[in-house]
Chains A and B, each alone.
Chain A
Amino acid sequence: MWNILTSRKLALWALLGLLLPLTLSAFLPSELTLPEREWAELSRQSPFYFGIASRLATPYLVKTPFFAAVSLLLFLSTCACTVQRVLWGLRGTSPDFSRDRSFSFSREVPFPLSPEEGGGRITRLLASTGWRHERRDAADALVLSGVKGRSGFWGSIVFHVGLLGCFLAGPATYLTALTGELVLTEGVALPLKEGVSLARGKGATLPEARASLHDLRGVYYKGRFKSDFGGVMKISDARGEHELRFEVNRPVEYQGLQFSLHQFGFAPRLVIERSGAAPFDFYLNLRHPREGDFFEVGGGVRALVIFFPDFIREGGKIGTKTEEPLNPVTMVRLYRGETEIGKGLVKPGESAQLGGYRVTVPDYRHWATLVVTRDAGVPFTVFGFVVCVAGLLIRFASNERLVEFELRRQGEESLLTVKGYSRYYPAFLEKEVDALAEKLIEDGVT
Chain B
Amino acid sequence: MTFWEEIFLWCAVAGYAGAFVFFLVGTVFRKEAWAGRGVYATVAGFCGHTLAVIFRWQATGHAPVMHTYENSLIGVWFLVLIYLGLKRSFPPSRMFGVVVTPFALLILGNGVMVGAELQPLEPAFKSNWLFIHVLFAWFCFGSYLLAFADGIMYLVKARAPGGGGRLPDLKLLEELSLRLILLGFLSHAVMLGSGAIWAHSLWGKYWNWDPVETWALISWLVYGVNLHLRFTLGWSGNRGAWLAVISLFSIIFLFFGFGHGSSVHTEMFSK
The CA of A101 and the CA of B240, in the complex, are separated in Å by 14
Given A227-B120, A247-B123, the answer on whether A425 and B179 have CB atoms closer than 8 Å is yes
- Provide the B12-33 mask, 1 if CB < 8 A to any CB of A, else 0: 0000000000000000000000
Given A15-B221, A378-B200, A392-B185, the answer on whether A249 and B208 have CB atoms closer than 8 Å is no
With a CB–CB cut-off of 8 A, which chain B residues contact A102?
234
Contact B260 A262 (CB under 8 A): no
Which size class do A's interface residues fall under?
35 or more
Contact A27 B259 (CB under 8 A): yes
Q: Which among A18, A102, A226 has the highest number of chain B CB atoms within 10 Å?
A: A226
Contact B192 A385 (CB under 8 A): yes
With a CB–CB cut-off of 8 A, which chain A residues contact B260?
33
With a CB–CB cut-off of 8 A, which chain A residues contact B218?
19, 22-23, 26
With a CB–CB cut-off of 8 A, which chain A residues contact B232?
8-9, 11-12
- The verdict on B159 contacting chain A, using a C-beta distance below 8 Å, is no
Contact A32 B261 (CB under 8 A): yes
- The verdict on A127 contacting chain B, using a C-beta distance below 8 Å, is no
The CA of A377 and the CA of B192, in the complex, are separated in Å by 15
- The verdict on A427 contacting chain B, using a C-beta distance below 8 Å, is yes
With a CB–CB cut-off of 8 A, which chain A residues contact B190?
385, 389
A-B residue pair count with CB separations less than 8 angstroms: 179
Which residue on B lies nearest to A59, using beta carbons?
B209
Contact A371 B123 (CB under 8 A): no
The CA of A10 and the CA of B105, in the complex, are separated in Å by 42
The segment from B45-53, B95-103, B106-114, B169-177 that touches chain A is B169-177
The CA of A249 and the CA of B203, in the complex, are separated in Å by 8
A285–chain B nearest beta-carbon distance, Å? 12
Which residue on B lies nearest to A374, using beta carbons?
B204
With a CB–CB cut-off of 8 A, which chain B residues contact A372?
204
- The verdict on A248 contacting chain B, using a C-beta distance below 8 Å, is yes
Contact B209 A32 (CB under 8 A): yes
- The verdict on A424 contacting chain B, using a C-beta distance below 8 Å, is yes
Which residue on B lies nearest to A101, using beta carbons?
B234
Given A19-B221, A427-B174, A427-B175, the answer on whether A373 and B209 have CB atoms closer than 8 Å is no
- The verdict on A251 contacting chain B, using a C-beta distance below 8 Å, is yes
Contact A371 B186 (CB under 8 A): no
With a CB–CB cut-off of 8 A, which chain B residues contact A28?
259
- The verdict on A293 contacting chain B, using a C-beta distance below 8 Å, is no
The residue from A34, A100, A260, A428 contacting B201, defined by CB atoms under 8 A apart: A260
- The verdict on B54 contacting chain A, using a C-beta distance below 8 Å, is no
In this complex, how many residues of chain B approach chain A with their Cβ under 8 Å: the count is 66
Within 8 A of B (CB), among A219-239: 221, 225-229
- The verdict on B44 contacting chain A, using a C-beta distance below 8 Å, is no
- Provide the A415-439 mask, 1 if CB < 8 A to any CB of B, else 0: 0000000011111101000000000
- The verdict on A268 contacting chain B, using a C-beta distance below 8 Å, is no
With a CB–CB cut-off of 8 A, which chain A residues contact B122?
225-227
Given A392-B185, A425-B178, the answer on whether A262 and B203 have CB atoms closer than 8 Å is yes
The CA of A22 and the CA of B186, in the complex, are separated in Å by 22
With a CB–CB cut-off of 8 A, which chain B residues contact A322?
none
Contact A392 B186 (CB under 8 A): yes
The CA of A430 and the CA of B259, in the complex, are separated in Å by 45
- The verdict on B263 contacting chain A, using a C-beta distance below 8 Å, is yes
Contact B233 A249 (CB under 8 A): no
Given A15-B221, A393-B186, the answer on whether A426 and B175 have CB atoms closer than 8 Å is yes
A25–chain B nearest beta-carbon distance, Å? 8
With a CB–CB cut-off of 8 A, which chain A residues contact B221?
15, 18-19, 22
The CA of A372 and the CA of B175, in the complex, are separated in Å by 49
Within 8 A of B (CB), among A237-266: 247-251, 258, 260-264
Within 8 A of B (CB), among A388-429: 388-389, 392-393, 395-396, 423-428
With a CB–CB cut-off of 8 A, which chain A residues contact B183?
396
B170–chain A nearest beta-carbon distance, Å? 9
Given A15-B228, A221-B119, A425-B175, the answer on whether A250 and B206 have CB atoms closer than 8 Å is no
Which residue on B lies nearest to A18, using beta carbons?
B221
Contact A248 B123 (CB under 8 A): yes
Contact A426 B222 (CB under 8 A): no
Given A26-B215, A33-B261, A33-B263, the answer on whether A262 and B123 have CB atoms closer than 8 Å is no
- The verdict on B135 contacting chain A, using a C-beta distance below 8 Å, is no
With a CB–CB cut-off of 8 A, which chain B residues contact A118?
none
With a CB–CB cut-off of 8 A, which chain B residues contact A229?
123, 269
Which residue on A lies nearest to B211, using beta carbons?
A33
- Provide the B109-135 mask, 1 if CB < 8 A to any CB of A, else 0: 000000000011111101100000000
The CA of A286 and the CA of B185, in the complex, are separated in Å by 45
- Provide the B142-184 mask, 1 if CB < 8 A to any CB of A, else 0: 0000000000000000000000000001011011001100110
The residue from A8, A58, A169 contacting B209, defined by CB atoms under 8 A apart: A58
With a CB–CB cut-off of 8 A, which chain B residues contact A426?
171, 174-175, 236
Which residue on A lies nearest to B182, using beta carbons?
A396
With a CB–CB cut-off of 8 A, which chain A residues contact B197?
381-382
The CA of A28 and the CA of B192, in the complex, are separated in Å by 22
- The verdict on B262 contacting chain A, using a C-beta distance below 8 Å, is yes
- The verdict on B82 contacting chain A, using a C-beta distance below 8 Å, is no
B218–chain A nearest beta-carbon distance, Å? 5
- The verdict on A52 contacting chain B, using a C-beta distance below 8 Å, is no
Given A58-B209, A249-B123, A258-B204, the answer on whether A392 and B178 have CB atoms closer than 8 Å is no
B247–chain A nearest beta-carbon distance, Å? 11
The CA of A425 and the CA of B230, in the complex, are separated in Å by 11
With a CB–CB cut-off of 8 A, which chain A residues contact B258?
27
Contact A249 B214 (CB under 8 A): no
Contact B119 A249 (CB under 8 A): no
B137–chain A nearest beta-carbon distance, Å? 14
Within 8 A of A (CB), among B232-271: 232-234, 236, 250, 253, 258-264, 269-271
The residue from A22, A378, A385, A428 contacting B214, defined by CB atoms under 8 A apart: A22
- The verdict on B225 contacting chain A, using a C-beta distance below 8 Å, is yes
4 closest Cβ contacts across the A-B interface?
A101-B234, A385-B193, A33-B261, A248-B123
- Give 15 A-B contacts (CB < 8 Å), ordered by A residue: A11-B232, A22-B214, A25-B214, A221-B120, A225-B119, A249-B123, A262-B269, A375-B205, A378-B200, A378-B206, A395-B182, A396-B183, A423-B231, A424-B178, A427-B169
Given contacts A35-B262, A261-B269, A381-B196, 10 further A-B contacts (CB under 8 A): A9-B233, A11-B228, A32-B264, A169-B206, A249-B123, A249-B202, A382-B196, A382-B197, A388-B193, A396-B183
